[in-house]
Structure 1
Amino acid sequence: MSNFDFNATSIKDITQTRLLTCLPDETMHDAAVKMAERNCSAILIVANDEIIGIWTERDVLKFDFSSPNARSTPVSEGMSSPVICVNENVSLEEVSLKFKKDGVRHYVVTDDHGKHQGIISQTDVIKKHNFEFFLVLKTAGSVLKPSPPLIQSTQSMAQASKLMHSSHSDAIRVEFPDESVGILTERDVVKALASLMLNPLVEDYASRNLVTVNEHESLYQAKKIMLQHGFRHLGVVDNKSNLIGIINLSDILAGFRSTYVEELKESLAQRDASLKESLKSLCLAKKIIDNTQEGVITTDKYVVIQTCNAGFTRITGYTEQEVVGKTPAIISSGRHDKNFYYAMWENINKQGFWQGEIWNRRKNGEIYPELLTITEIRDDETNEISNYAAIFSDISQLKNDEEEIKRLAFYDPLTDLPNRRLLNDRLTQELAIAGRSAKNGALLLIDLDHFKNINETLGHSAGDRVLVEVAYRLKICVRDCDTVARISSDEFVVILTELSEQIESACNEARHIAENLQQTICQVYSVMNHKLYISSSIGIAMYSENSGLPDDLLKQAGTAMYRAKDSGRNMLQFFQDSMQEAVMERMLIEKELRHALDEKQLSLYYQPQVDYEGNLIGAEALIRWNHPKKGFIPPDKFIPIAEECGLIQAVGAWVLEQAFIHLRQWDKQQVYLPHLAINISPRQFYHDDFIDILARLVKQYRISPTRVMLEFTEGLLMNDVDNAINKIKQLKKLGYTFSIDDFGTGYSSLSYLKHLPVDQLKIDKSFVEDITKNEDDAIFVGTIIAIAQHMNLDVVAEGVESKMELEFLKENGCLCFQGYYFSKPLPEEQFYEDWLKKAKH
């Protein structure tokens, strides 16, 4: 039989010498904090360099969570004293018996002179014991104690600790509202005490998903799961997956003692007198081994296979008849060299066992990983090696899970592209290579223009499909040596390597590739019966041998990308040092704009819209920002920033509210403005509550919506024309009218105009200012007016600054004008005095 001499190993070898200590007058809260930080199950109380007591996780159960002042109680009032000591030369076998006899879980270890050397716990003994082979003989159900008490997750920790203390349980079951069962342990109670939370609940500290093992699984499997996951408790279920109990590491030790110490030693002592019973026990042991999920083989001292169990056959595909009389080389994968096996057998010869991961081959040729433990067995009388036993489990699924975890850590789960972490690794490598090779490279930061509109209008599933398609298009457009990564929702990065050594040529290569990527991205996307068009803004940062850190390069590419957006989107831009100053200014404006909303620095100006004779027929509301130190900041400087950072929602809502307030105020002053034009941003338009806001304003201020004209630019239509049309129709049912602002400056203007339920076209001032100088602009403006008349749409010309422009527009059929020729935008009070009071009603 086996000669595992646990008496040969003393506890000195596993004693923890780094003691966790505290003073007697330290509070229980402070002691619990120390235990939680060190993940220790006990703390020693020391006074005058002498250990006077010990406070364990079991002692913490006596803590009264319901008392508001209990946390300040000195730890000495709850400690166990005196501390039980054990000599460092005691064997593992002796100390395991002593643990059972004394009913404790910790001993202070002393030397022969009584000097304290450290501390040892039951867990330390279990981890050191090499008794896997014997735990195979015992099932998890065989050491099962009565099922621990059950508590609801919504109950307090005070109730939980009292329940654990009164039932002498180191863990209790927790039932959550969804009927799932978790676990609350003594260590969780320590964490609750270590926190500052008053009246904590069980759900704040309980582990929600209790890991379980079938009652018929071996204690070997149970121990393996506990140690792999760092658990001290494991649920036990029956064949119907019903939880029938919880076991801990102490139960494992009890199972070992029951199997090895009590059963084997008793069998050996009585083998001559009880041969029949021994044979029966061996038969039972064989049945257990045959039915365990692990593979088990035994060999003679020459490593020739003598037996194998059903688990071996299930894992390898070989039957017992096929392997008996052969060596384990029959399942060798060929992946390990002679040095690997030499080190394995050297360890077995020195320590009596070896445990580790190894690759073997199934009968069908498939190579698989396994966790293998090999143990030598010595004859009791001669102490010579008589056999070897091997236990192994197939860890293919575990390896697959590890690969999946690695994939999730380094790859974007949606597009399967490298994520930011892997991008940083590759960029670091490429910068190092560039430094050695003197070749240039480029980093492209690609942002999808207005991508958020897709998520807001069609939902995130549609947005995800677009992102997957963009990722695919990017990958097929670059070389194998390049890298494509996704670093945020709608941002992609491309690393271009091995570009020309001449910087000018390298820049041209980067520009050519970037333009090709833009053209590819711009191709139509068919998603959920919608045809979508997306443009992109690309920032390019070149790198060579002296390009700094990856983060610096990403910041440069980001700065260039935002400059591309500011240039009109669907653009690309190379980074320049001057851009960094612009970025800092942009960040400052964003910060100050947030304060401007709260500190009433914003105001509405009104520019009159008149007929040919100068009679007031309407006005446009224009936002102005009067900075207390910088004076007036132009809208074209802060509105794009508000769009980018998301403030446009708040700014737009403020503009609408102020405009309705002024309309109501003018009505009370008995002056009348026929209609007021208000600019609407795309993000504001597509927001879910936009229609609700407009409906509320009409009701709250009693303003007819027919007097309000909502202006939008053609950019609003870029992502989803159909959705825009539907929303416009809903608002027109409420009475609102619509105008296309800056008409003619967008894309495909005429292709969608006939489908839009709008009421007015607004000719951009960039065309108006040159109609008397540029024949092309004159023809274009005349065409816009003719189209509008043909479609029964009103026309407003903005930016009228001269009599000649006015006459040209009138002769071509334009009847409404706006511009400095009549009036600049005016503050509300001045607009009221100069225009509203004088207007004909």
Structure 2
Amino acid sequence: MKRSVRVPRQKTPVHRFAVIAGAGRKEAADGCMQTALAALAAACSPVTRPKHFFEECLRNLAAAYSADFAFCGVFTDDTETAIETVAVVAGGRGSKNITYELAGTPCEDALKADNVFIECGVQKLYPADSLLEEMGVESYFGAPLITADGEVMGLVAVLGRKPMMRHPWTDSVLGLFANRIALELERQRIEQEIELSASVFENSHEGIMIFSADWQIRKVNRAFTKITGYEPDEVIGKHARILACDRHDETFYLELMRVAEEEGRWEGDLWSLNKAGGLFGERRTITAVRDPASGRILHFVSIFTDISEEKFAEQRINRLAHYDQTTELPNRLFFSEKLSQTIAGARSSETCFALMMLNLDKFKAINESYGHMTGDRLLKAVADRLQTLPSDHYFPARLSGDEFAVICRVPQDPACAEQPLAIRARALLDLIGTPFMLDGEQTTISASVGIAIYPRDGADSQAIIRSADFALAAAKANPHRRTEFYRTELCEQAERQVALTKLLRKAVSRHQFRAYYQSKHAVDDGRLTGYEALIRWQLDDGVLVSPAQFIPVAEETGLIVEIGRWMLGEVCRQITEWRRLGYAFGRVSVNISGRQLTDPEFVTTVAEIIGRTGVDPSDLELEITESWLMVDPERSTEILQALRGMGFKLSIDDFGIAYSSMNYLKHFPVDIIKVDRSFVRDILTDRDSQAIVSAIIAMGHNLGREIVAEGVETRGQLDMLRSAGCDEAQGYLFSRPVPPEDVERARRMPLRQEAVAS
């Protein structure tokens, strides 16, 4: 009697199974396995998918394991204490579905681990499971069903009245079926959601809310957002009483829900609160939608209309008091109230936020040259752009003249908030710096930003405003920097940055940059697959300046656009030279700065360089840092699609350290994901790093992306990456970044691969 239970794993979207090749221990069992896999492959096609998909899958699964029973099921509710079967097969035939309590069953263990395999004696191991005794089950094999987002939705299991033999393909076959069944369940759920939306949202002029059976909000329509001010992501998952106000007591709402549940319908007038805290009257109808077969409530549909037209005059007065008349942004009064509320919320939740003070450069000259009316139109144009910022992350306001303020949510604690804030600030400046059409003429204006972080730089409104103003003054004092964080040593740092910026400008004019190359290798056999081009700044005395020192300054000053243009041209020139020498160099990757992506002429510049050098775009791989892509995902997608259409391979660099998700990744037209070196460095000693790397590899492969690991320095790291299925790797284990002459010298000698091929 053997029992195999794996260690419980985190709910991370890691694909757990890989097909195991090789001969099985019994020809008959292998034949059943092959038949089952062939049936699964046929079922994967929308054309050939059988009507009773789940039953067919289970029938073939039971045949593969010579089992008497097979079933798949999903959780009955969020407590995850029971499952309701989707399909059941007994003796090769379909059977009626059941609800199965999980406590004390092998299924409970299977849901906590990757899988549970019990060759025999399952009844003795789980005496509390009466169903096993009733069915006469002796052996059991079960595995969880996991969604594409990594959430466990249920499980699939096969059970036998006789002992079940374990084969080399045992785990992988059940895993393949589990993945396919989970995908089909998700597909059906999505289709049901589409049908639901089509039937409920026909009348979009009225606010509509769809509640689950336990009164949690599942969907809202556009009219709901227009009436209440809440965006869908602010209310989904919240209780239906999110609009409740103190005009009605607890008894009122309890009675409303009781009538809707017991009688199937509630209709009446009530008072509610919108997102801004304003009171409005509504006429609401709530209807219960039931399962025709069981009578169980599936959800509630609430339709309401705003009946508070008499409040419009009051709202107009409120707007005049809280909004700037020139720009229609919140005014200083509204900003002060919002800042106080934000501080109170951050203090109670022990979180932080940033205050960005923004000032237009040389606005006074525009007013004097073109008149105040033109200046007002420019202020309105700037405000319109600020209003395009996501309202869930930004609150812009006009304080006075050409001074604006932006309250910005920070996803990290103050210790690690500056990098994402710097990216947002640069994006904000680029947004404002894009040329305007003003009075029929193209007008460009720049701005400066000072940033203070609560509570690090101030514990109250006055303190945080003072810190942000101080930072803004420092930013304006250095026109090449334009963005400054508040810190006590600001003046000293500003002086050093000024000196470095001057040197960097000279470096651009004197062509002091060089391209170094670090090799990339296949993880499985160590063969050379290409190179990454890395920029170096070489001073006149031969000293190399670290990119960590000058790249941030280059990005902040905008010099990175010119430097990046030179780097791409130099790499193309080098590729042409290697082609002439007959070197097989694979594909060369080049880092593209986010500032280059935001340059309106970037795609045109790339096309010009390719046309001038005659390089085949397929020889190049363009690397874009993940954090830059997330500044403006839609714009990033457009640019990536244009580059891909030109024939370039595209990769996301430093993946895993920003605040994106796989949900965004599947929309980006990229070919390669580069795992950040910080995860690779700790992969042998830190379980979290191991899990993250494995997750990135598995999910990336499922999305059809290649995976490259950066910073590989030891054979142990390489072995771990190989076992996880990583495609390529680069790092000091293979080679340090070297100048092109060293690459050419190495290509003239026999390639040494014994360090990585074992």
**TM-score scaled by length of structure 2:** 0.40
**TM-score scaled by length of structure 1:** 0.37
